[in-house]
Every structure is written in C-alpha cells, then in structure tokens.
Structure 1
Amino acid sequence: MQATSKQLPKSLAREGSAQQPRTPRPRRFDPKAMLSNAEMQAALGSGLLLLIAWAVSGWSEIFSILLYIVSYSVGGWIKAKEGVETLVKERDLDVNLLMIAAALGAASIGYWNEGAMLIFIFALSGALESYTMERSKKDISSLMALKPATAVRIEKGGMSEVAIDLLAVGDQLLVRPGEIIPADGTIYRGESAVNQASITGESLPVEKSAGSDVFAGTINGEGPLYIEVTKSAENTLFAKIIKMVEEAETEVPESQRFIKRLESIYARVVVAATAALIALPPFLLDWSWSAAFYKAMVFLVVASPCALVSSIMPAMLSAISKSARKGILFKGGVHLENMAKTSVVAFDKTGTLTEGLPQVTDFIAGEGYDRNELLAVSASIEKLSRHPLAEAIVRKAEEEHLVLHVIEESTSVTGWGIEGLIKGRLWRIGKSNLLDERNEGGDEQWKALRRQLEKEGKTVSLILDGGKIAGMIALQDTVRPQAVAAVRKLQELGVKVAMLTGDRAATAEVIAGQTGVDLVFAGLLPEDKVTHIKALRNQYGNVVMVGDGVNDAPALATATVGIGMGMKGSGAALEIADVVLMNDNIEEIASTITLARRSQRIVKQNMVFAVTVIATLMLSNFLQGIALPFGVIGHEGSTILVILNGLRLLR
C-alpha cells in the first residue's frame, strides 16, 4: 500500500481545514477575557449608571432616581433571578435574595445611592467569582477544544476523510503537519515533533518516529505522520480525560457543602432577625419606625454571609486550575481538600518508582565462551519470545550492535524458558532454578554467583549449551530518574513514603535502598495491598496511593486519594483514580500536596477574615451605629478581598 503515491483530494488538502489548531498559549490573567464576561459587563454598567445618577442628583432628582432604578436592574437582575429560582425550585433562601432585599429596603427609605452601591459591589464580587470559576474550568478543559471531528484514513483506493467515531483499531491514518492527532496509535512511518502539552503538560514538543506511541488531542509538528490506530475513540486517553473533567466540574468539596447548608439556615435567621429589628424596637426601645428600618437594613447588609460563601470555591478552583496546567488532573475539589491532609504516600513499585522495563545488568560468559557471541546467541533465541525479560536481552544485543543468528528451530518450555537450534547446536535459556536440580562440577560457583546477584534484587536466568552451563544473565527493573527526588521532597514535607509491591522481598529492599522510602511491603497480592492501605490509614490518617496497573485499582480505591499514572497507566487505574498524573512525573506529587495545603490555608484565612468582618460590623451597628454606605463597603469589600485572595493561587 503506497499511501504517499496517492494525491490528496482537494477537500483534504485545503489550507485552514477544520483540524488546523491554534497554537496553545499559556493562560495568564487576561483583562479582556474578564471584561467579556456578561456578569462583569452588567456589574460595570451598573457602576457607571450609579456614578451618572449621583452626578445628576443635584440637577434633577427624578432623573437621578430613574438612573438609579436602571442601575439596580442592570446590576441586580442576574442575582435576583438566581435568588428567585432558589426560592421557587428549592423553597429556600440564599444570599442573593438577602442582598436584593437590602438594596430595595435602602431605596424604600430614600437611600437610592447606597442601595445602588450595594447592588454594584455585590454584582462585581459575583462577577469576579464567576470569572474565577469559568477561568478554572477553561484551564482544566481547554483540551476539549482540541477534539478533532474527522481523520484522514488510508484505504486501498486512496484516502478519505471520516468521522473519528468511525475509526477502528488497526486503521491507518495520515496526520499532516500542524494537524491534531485524531486517535491513540503507533507511528509506522514518518518523523516529527509532537506537542503533547494538552495531555501531559510537557512544555516542549517530543520527537516521535516509527514505533512511537501518540495520543489523540496532541498536535503534530513539521513532518507528516502515518499512524496505526491502537484504541477506539471512546477508549483513548483523551476521552478518559474529558470524562475526568466532567466529574471535576460537578464534584463539590465537603467544606463547600457545609457552607451551602449553613447559608440556608443562616439566611433564615438573618431574615427573622431583620423582621424583628423592624417590628420590635419602636415598641420596646421607643425608636422611630424609620430609625428601626434603617438599622435593620444596615443589619441585613452586614450580616449577609457573602464573604463566607465565597471563601472556598475560588481558592479551590484556582488550585485545581494551576495543577491542570502542570498535567495533574483532579476529579474534584474534595480530593484537593483530602490531599492537603496527606500523612503517607504509598507507591506501587513497578512502573511507578521504577521504569517497569527490565534491563540486563550483568552478562557473565562461562569459561571458553566469547561474551559477545554468547549474547548474540541468547538474543537470537529470545527474539522469538514476547516475555519482558526476553525483550530486555534483545535490547541489550541491539544496543551493542551485535548481528543475530538465524534460528533453525525453536520451542517454548512451559514454566521455564525457551530453547532453539542454531547451526545444529541446541541452546536453552530459562530460570536459574534449574541449578537446584543439578549437582555437576562447577555448579557451586554458579550457585554462589546466583545468590550474590539475587541479594542485589536481580532476576537471574541461565544459558545452557546442550546440557552445559554456558553463562548467566542478571536483569533488574531500574529506578525512575526522578524517583529519589520525589521521595526526598515528600519526606521534607513531613510525609512518610511507603512502597507496596508484589515483587520479592530482596528486590523490594534493593529498590527501597536506592530510593530512600520509609516503609516497604513486598510479596503482595492486590488484596494484600488493600489490607496494608487500610492499616496505614488507621495508623497515620490520610493515605495517598500512587499506581499504574490493574492490580493497583483496589488499593487506589481504598486510599484517601488515589493517583493514577496517565501515560502508562491501565484503564482500570485511571478510572478509579481521584487524581491523574498526565506526564507520569511523580516528582510533582510533593508540589501538589504543597499547593493543596496552601489552598487550605487560604480557605481558612478567608473564613476567619469573613467571620471577623461580619461580627465587627454587626457589633458596630448595635453598639454605636454605622452608616449604610460604610456597611455596604465593609461587607462587600470583604467579599471581593476573599475572592482576590483565592485568585493568588493562579500566579
């Protein structure tokens, strides 16, 4: 099939096709984006009308009042609508109705300017919070815009543009320079740099060539790529990310749920207290009706929990947004909240702390055998096997540029290894337990060597020339380059690091020594990992589990927070995980815990500040009396401050 010899249809070769993406840019504070927000436009319009009404009040009182009414309508319409919907649908009161009632109350006793100022600042704080949430959602889900609608499929008769939903595993695609890669697949021809920032958070494009894996939603660079599809549209990493984003947008942290419940009760109390302040003082304290109504309106303004309600979500969403930029996806604010309390991080070993790819560490040739020739023979036989250890031996021979032999005959020996015939000579490669069944001259030396290698946590295989031991191969899974730094950073935060593995104790201890983990649990089945996670939770509190395999899924579900590896992780691990490391960079876990703790500190700062301001203004109103404009500025100003404090995390 000569795909390159076919001429692309004109409809596919056009410049600026639907697949041509815009170059992604890092998101920073964007005043234009903020001003394009409908709520922000309404708030600023309300403020402008307020200023004009105040300016013309000395010239025409009636015209001034009309402008104030328009200012009320422009600034308060959205919030009034939200409040009425809550009242009608949920039969409940919220802070929106309280503030609208306070503004209308101020207007009813002639304080048009103060009421309009209250509406303006309330609308402004609401617009800021909406902008924060919208901005955070865009940071998390901006990659959804990178979902291509079509792909160029290579067929026997040429090429055709098809919907990505019609792609099947095994289909061959052409991805031209600058286009979005439409499906997960493997390159079978072509070289190019691929921008994977939308999936992994990597800042620089990654060089790809034949044999490299690519992901849907990433952007091809300067060279055409020919790709074979390896996953259907609904099973791509991209599709899984979109599902996570949808979950993240609906998940609400426990602290926010508590504030929501509190808001409902608190709003009723405030309304009842306001009614009592209007009705009782004229009879009990000999106040005038207008004085009692004025003080009640001030109370209604300063007692409303606007700042308290806005203390949590802007900070949480800012933290989730910042993490998303670095390729760390939270499925909801509750997981960020839990991560801030982390006491232990438990890692799976294979593919998490280690590369998950065994490598030949020692190749020992017996007396009378040439090392390179023996390695070439071993690789020639192992090339017929798909076992990870066999592939490691083949890679070793290829790295040393050895010429492999033609295998005349090959047989797999179930439960032990493989044997093959080269130039009429029988060679066998398999487990070193064969030594335990032998007692021939020279075997003791091989047994001693095996014991030494196994103490170092290595897996040992034997090479036999007929019935004679010709050599020994030691293999080991290597530690990920960033594992040591990841463990150290967690320990610097006061977090204990555990390792859970199904591997042998000797191997686990070696990896533990290389990485510096605090606790080691080896020889575990999936259910054993669950037992140990439960025990760690009972002993230390919040436990984060990091894993990538199907066997890690039960432990990920049992941990307080489960973190899945996005690049190499299994579908089950990604489904069950609460957080996904899109670039598999475990070094970012410590900085994510730090960010989660910062967000919790900011939430606490906001809540303490909001309660203090409310209490101070309420006491001042009763003990000394404060003017309505001061109450408006003090209360709504505190709301804006807590929102801006939460936005600090976006820096």
Structure 2
Amino acid sequence: MLKTSSLNTVEARMKDKSSSVHAPSSKQSVYGFFKRYAEGIAALASGVLIAIAWGIGHFTEAGSVIIYLLAFVIGGFVKGREGLHTLINERDLDVNLLMIVAAVGAASIGYWTEGAVLIFIFSLSGALESYTTERSKRDISSLMDLKPETAIRYYNGTETEISIEQLEIGDIVLVKPGERIPADGVVREGASSINQSSITGESIPVDKAAGDDVYAGTLNGQGALFIEVTKRSESTLFAKIIRLVQEAQSEKPVSQMFIERFERIYARSIIVITILLIVAPPFLLGRTWNETLYKAMVFLVVASPCALVASIMPAMLSAISNSARKGVLFKGGAHLENLARIKVVAFDKTGTLTNGQPIVTDLIPLDGYSEKDMLQAAASIESLSEHPLAKAIVQEAKERGIRLDWPSELQSLSGWGVQAEWRGDTWRIGKPIMLEHELLTEELESVIDRLEEQGKTVTIIHNTRAVVGVIALQDSIREQAKQAIAEIKRLGIEVAMLTGDQKKTAHKIAREAGIDLVFAELLPEDKVTLIRELKQTYGHIAMVGDGINDAPALATSTVGIAMGGAGSDAALETADLVLMNDDIESIAAAIALGKRTRTIIKQNMLFAAAVIACLITANFMTGIALPLGVVGHEGSTILVILNGLRLLR
C-alpha cells in the first residue's frame, strides 16, 4: 500500500521544482528541415538552374550546357538512383529509368532545355509523392514523439528515474501533472484527467481515479498519479498502435501490386518500341536520325506510365493517415479497398451495440433457496469468468456484501454458460436453452417468458438436484448506436445483428437500434457459418465485434472491425480495422472514406490513361513538341498526386 500522505508530499515537492525543456538548436532545425524536404529542394534547385542556363544560353552555349548538366544531376539524382537500383538488383526496368533515358536522349540531340525541364517536372512530381509518404510517416513520428523515454519508479518512499524498458509488471510509477504516462497500468492512488487523444482520437480528457486503466503515451492533467504497471513497454497498446499503422503504410493494396506488375511489363514494351522508332524509320521511311530520335524521345516521355503508377499509393496513404489521426486504424490499403465494397455490416450485440455493462434487474430464487443463497452460489461460480454477464452478477453480490468462495474445476460451455464444482456439487449457470427438459417446469417457463418479453437476458442457476433460481440482466443500448446504424443505411448498406443472446432480447435491442436482420442464440461457430452465408447472399461483409468471442467471425468476414478501446490483444491482432475510441459512428465515416478513396483512384487512373493515349496518338498523327509532351505527361502526374492528397483533409 502507498502512504496516504505520499500524494501531498509529491505535490508539495513539485511546487518547489521546475523542469526545463531544451529546444533544439537552430543548426539542428535547419538540418532537419533540409533532410525532410531534400527531394523538393533538389527539384526547385534544378528549376532555378534551368532558368539560369536558359538565360546564359543567349550569351554562351558552353556555360549554359554546364549549368544544364548541373540541373540534370541535382534534379535527377534521386530518381536515377532508384531506377539503377531496380535495374541492377532486380534486373528490371521502371518508370524512373525511362524518364532519365528520355531526358538524356533529348540532351544528346541538342534539346538541353527540354531534357532539363523533363527532369525538373519529373523530380517535382516525385517530391510531391514523397511528401505524401512523409506526411503519413509524420503522423507516426508525432506518435513516436509522445512515447516517454523515462519513468519515475516509486518504491518504499524513494523515487528513481529509469528508462521505460527497465519497468517490470507490478512496478509503481509516479506520474506528475503535465507528464506523459510511461506504461499501460492501473491507477492505485490519485485522481486526474487524462488526454487520451494519442490512443482514441478523442480530444476531451477523461477523468481517472483509483482502479481505472491508463495507457502509455497519454497525457496526465493536473493531478499526480501512482500507477501500477500491467504491461512491459514493448507490449503496451501505444506500441501496438504504432506497429499497426507502420504495417498499414508498408502493406500494398491489390490494385497497387497489379499496377507495379503492369509497370514492369509496360516499361519493357516502351523500351522495345522506342528502339524500333529510332532504328526503323531511317531505313524504311528515309527519315534523318535526328528526326527519328526526337520523335522516339517524345514517345518515350508521353508513353511512360508515371501518372498511372502515382494514381494509387498517394491516395491510399493519405486516407490511412487521415483515419489514423481520428482513432480509426486500418491494417493496410487492401482493407480500405475492401471496405468500399461492403454490402452488409454485421454487429455483435454485447459491448458493440450495447454498452457491455449489464446490470442485474431480477433475482428469483426457487426450490427453497433464499435470494442471498442463490446469488452467493451464482456469483461464487462466476467470479472466475470474464464474461460481462458474469461480472454483473459478481458486482451485484459484492454490492450486497455477500462473501464469495471460488469454485473448482470451472469449465466454459462455449456459447451456453459455465459449469463448476462448488461446495461438493456440480453447478451450471447459463442460458435457459441448456436446461434438460424435465427441469423446465411450467412455472419456470412462465417466469422466463415474462422476463424475455421485457427484453431482459435470462440466466438459469441449477445443480444436480434442481433449478435453484433465475437471474435477469439488462444491458443498455449505446447512445450513438441508432445514429451510427442510420448513417450506415444512408450509404445503401444493410445492417445485421449477430448475438448469442435469446431471441426476444435480441429483437428488442434490434428494434431500438433500427436493425432489420437479426440472428440470435448463436454459438461462436454459428456466427462463422452465418457470416459465410451472408457473404454468399450479399457479397462483401464487415463484422463488428469486441475481438475476443467474435474473433473467428472477424477473421471470416471481408473486413473485421474491432472495438479497440479496451485495448484487447485479440481486437488488435484479429481485426482489419480497429476503432480505438469504440465509436461505432466512425464505421460509416470509414466506409465513406473507402468509397471516396476508390472514386479518387478511379478518377486518377482514367485521367492518366486518357492523357497517355491522347499524347501517343498526337505524337504519331501530327507530331508534338518535346516540351509539350513533357508538360502534358508530367503535368498529369502532378495532378493525380494532388488529387490523392485531397484525402489528407
């Protein structure tokens, strides 16, 4: 136990101490700026050099060529290195190498300005694409910045500053006002408001007191807290979030992988056609080498798939980054793509549509048992269970001051209830459906029907001799459930509810929430079967659950959506999409974001393909100037990237 006066002592000491924050030096800031925007700065520098070279060209050709060469090197270094890396290590061609070859080819026949402008616009579009990735990574960097490096361990009245990696489960840490919480844990002493926006995306601080869970990376308010560590630094919810978003950014969607495969084949084809355009016309049509080389360079520029390649990932990264800032974590672009195709959203009931905190409403003892004895038996047996109904029964017994004795040989009857040995007898607690027929009397059946008509969940307690009582519990629907379901329906998507609860209770909750498709009294394996049937009937299905009992159904669905507010490992590991603030209203927004992303990608691809087709046709039909080809092709690349960047908003 902590001393009662420890908080007062800490707060008094804090009034006498002040901490200093060392701002980074101006030298470090300048270096950081140039490192972050190096590609963009190189592109702009090459543009400035081109302008200088063009001006000097009126006076000295040799001087302008030297400056053009400098513009080539500065603007084309990054993309040229990427192209050579693909050529040497993967023995393949990509769009970067095509552009460098086109620029060098233009310069080789005297078109220095056109080649340099191609390098400039190509490097500028590359810088924009890098900006998208960097912006997405900055969201992770800003999260990483929230990770505390040290913690104050409190032991026997002594405070010791240690690195968070040294913290062990069970340690007590002191978190002063304004500091970040160093590890996941439980408040043991003190009270404060905690800003959990880094975890849940919600901006309003949450009040915390003794017994409440807190998470690493969240910001303490005005009170000092003594927190017992429950997870090591690498296992904290904060660390998992960072890992998940990093994986999401690196995982490529199916459409992007297709485009990359297409790019490799397309690039080889373009090189072959370009060589034919250089070699064939002088022999077959009697054209000059300069004329055919120029036309071939124009073709190489306008036919390159830069805009097509840039159509997908900037948009995907922007959307993933946008949703992560709001506490909605996608595990990859593929899931964002799939979410746009969803036809049905299936919800688990308890803890998803409802608050997951049922309360005991009725205690009906039978077979000569008193209310106290019946509740003692039920609560003692359920004391080892983590099910929400079990917790509610245990809480009711504790509030009545009833002493509990742990059972032995507790066994979970999946989807039905529990069985245990208690005080020399075998007991079962669970759904009425598990009762043997001879135990289900008319009186008991009447009681069950009456309670279920009221929308309550009925639990039966019986031993080897008789049914000893009935406990009714009721859960309340989430405040935002009706609005969330209405918003999903407005998108033209069906909503279903899958629950293991009794039919009458399920239908009452469904009516209140506005759900038409209701499936009740389901075992975990039944949910999996039902998800498969819904997929056959409707197509793509999203399943929303708590990530523990619903893990098989989450894995079977097209997109598994988990409630991650409680930070359960199963929620983070099984689902494709995690709602960190448990806000089911975010589901409609996430689906809308998926649809918007798909629309923007389609716009980008159609626009890019149309521009390439028009430029190639114009080049063969009438011939176009290399500068126009450069502006048309690279301009389209910049436009598709900017279109994708709209999703950052």
Residue number in structure 2 paired with 1:583: 581
Residue number in structure 2 paired with 1:350: 350
Residue number in structure 2 paired with 1:560: 558
Partner SS for 2:492: coil
CA distance in 2, matches of 1:551, 1:49: 63
RMSD between superposed Cα atoms in Å: 3.7
Count of residues in correspondence between the two structures: 614
1:45 aligns with 2:45: yes
Distance 1:174 1:17, change over 3 A: farther
Residue number in structure 2 paired with 1:15: 19
Distance 1:221 1:6, change over 3 A: closer
Partner SS for 1:533: helix
CA distance in 2, matches of 1:243, 1:187: 26
1:521 aligns with 2:519: yes
Residue number in structure 1 paired with 2:632: 634
Amino acid at match of 1:184: D
Aligned-pair CA distance for 1:572: 2.0
Write out aligned runs for 1:410-425 (5 A).
none
Aligned-pair CA distance for 1:509: 1.9
Distance 1:438 1:534, change over 3 A: closer
Partner SS for 2:357: strand
Q: Is the 8 A contact 1:140 1:324 kept in 2?
A: no
1:89-123 per-position Cα deviation (integer Å, ceiling 9, x unaligned):
00001111111111111111111111111000000
Residue number in structure 1 paired with 2:304: 304
Distance 1:334 1:141, change over 3 A: farther
Residue number in structure 2 paired with 1:205: 205
CA distance in 1, matches of 2:268, 2:110: 26
5+ residue gaps, structure 2, are 25-31, 411-417, 424-428, 462-466
**Farther-moved stretch of structure 1 (572-581 vs 164-173):** 164-173
Write out aligned runs for 1:55-454 (5 A).
55-140=55-140, 142-156=142-156, 158-361=158-361, 386=383, 389=389, 392=392, 448-454=446-452
Percentage of identical aligned residues: 57
Q: Is the 8 A contact 2:547 2:575 kept in 1?
A: no
CA distance in 1, matches of 2:622, 2:52: 32
Match for 1:646 among 641, 644, 647? 644
**Farther-moved stretch of structure 1 (73-82 vs 157-166):** 157-166
Distance 1:532 1:459, change over 3 A: closer
Aligned-pair CA distance for 1:52: 0.9
> With structure 2 as the length reference, what TM-score do the two structures score?
0.86
CA distance in 2, matches of 1:531, 1:462: 27
1:461-488 per-position Cα deviation (integer Å, ceiling 9, x unaligned):
799xxxxx99986321221111121211
1:571-618 per-position Cα deviation (integer Å, ceiling 9, x unaligned):
123212111111111111111111101111110111110011111111
Residue number in structure 2 paired with 1:618: 616
CA distance in 2, matches of 1:503, 1:446: 18
Q: Is the 8 A contact 2:57 2:64 kept in 1?
A: yes
Aligned-pair CA distance for 1:146: 1.7
Aligned-pair CA distance for 1:346: 1.4
Amino acid at match of 2:55: A
Distance 1:158 1:276, change over 3 A: same
Amino acid at match of 2:161: E
Aligned-pair CA distance for 1:391: 5.4
Aligned-pair CA distance for 1:460: 4.4
Distance 1:145 1:302, change over 3 A: same
Q: Is the 8 A contact 1:547 1:569 kept in 2?
A: no
CA distance in 2, matches of 1:470, 1:122: 79
Residue number in structure 1 paired with 2:415: none
Match for 2:498 among 476, 500, 506? 500
CA distance in 2, matches of 1:35, 1:644: 22
CA distance in 2, matches of 1:76, 1:45: 11
Aligned-pair CA distance for 1:510: 2.0
Q: Is the 8 A contact 1:380 1:405 kept in 2?
A: no
> With structure 1 as the length reference, what TM-score do the two structures score?
0.85
CA distance in 1, matches of 2:459, 2:279: 91
**Farther-moved stretch of structure 1 (531-540 vs 230-239):** 230-239
Aligned-pair CA distance for 1:631: 0.6
